[in-house]
Amino acid sequence: MNWSWYRFHELGVDNLYDALALRCEVFILEQGAFLDTDGVDRHCWHLLGRGDNGSGTGALHAYLRVVDAGVKYVEPSVGRVITSAATRGTGLGKTLMAEGLRFTDQTLPGHSIRISAQARLRRFYQGFGFADDKPEHIEDGIPHVEMLRLARAAG
């Protein structure tokens, strides 16, 4: 898997198209209609995981975004965490999240990270140090829970 990080203005039309297509496939076609393009993407780091075809331009199989602090929450947040249907069950989701948190810890040291996780994925995120911070609620027709991962000590 080839991992690439971009700010919104660096994505280019092909990467943006692929990211939005994967998000549409997973978040809209699989999970039901909601407004995926929420105006937040311009204030994010975007992580794209492409299949390794030797050129770094393989199919997009994994994606997440790291939202700048102060945009959705006081803290930076991780969201739109997805893997393609073809790669589910391979461990790619864990690799994706680990890469996202590694980058976030390195780029934004000393910051806690907040997420709004689908409630059914609570244990997955707990495995990365997130803990429930607010009661479960409905977001886009799906039970979610706000979770927080406290800042890591430097060193």
**How does residue 56 score in pLDDT terms, banded at 50, 70 and 90?**
low
Has residue 38 been placed in a domain? yes
Look at residue 40 and tell me if it is in a domain.
yes
Domain membership of residue 83 as a residue range: 2-112
Q: What is the CATH number of the domain that holds 52?
A: 3.40.630.30
pLDDT digits (tens, 9 = 90+) for 82-127: 999 999 999 999 999 999 999 999 999 999 999 999 999 999 999 9
In a domain, 155, yes or no: no
Q: Which has the closest alpha carbon to 132: 116, 109, 152?
A: 116
Which of 59, 152, 148 lies closest to 103, judged by CA? Answer: 152
36, two tokens:
């995926």
More confident residue, 65 or 37: 65
What's the start-to-end Cα distance of the chain, in Å?
28
Whether residue 39 lies inside any domain: the answer is yes
pLDDT at residue number 140 = 81
Please give the residue that has the higher pLDDT: either 2 or 55: 2
| CA–CA distance, 41 with 47 (Å, rounded to integer) | 12
Total number of domains constituting the chain? 1
Q: How many CB atoms lie within 10 A of CB 28?
A: 14
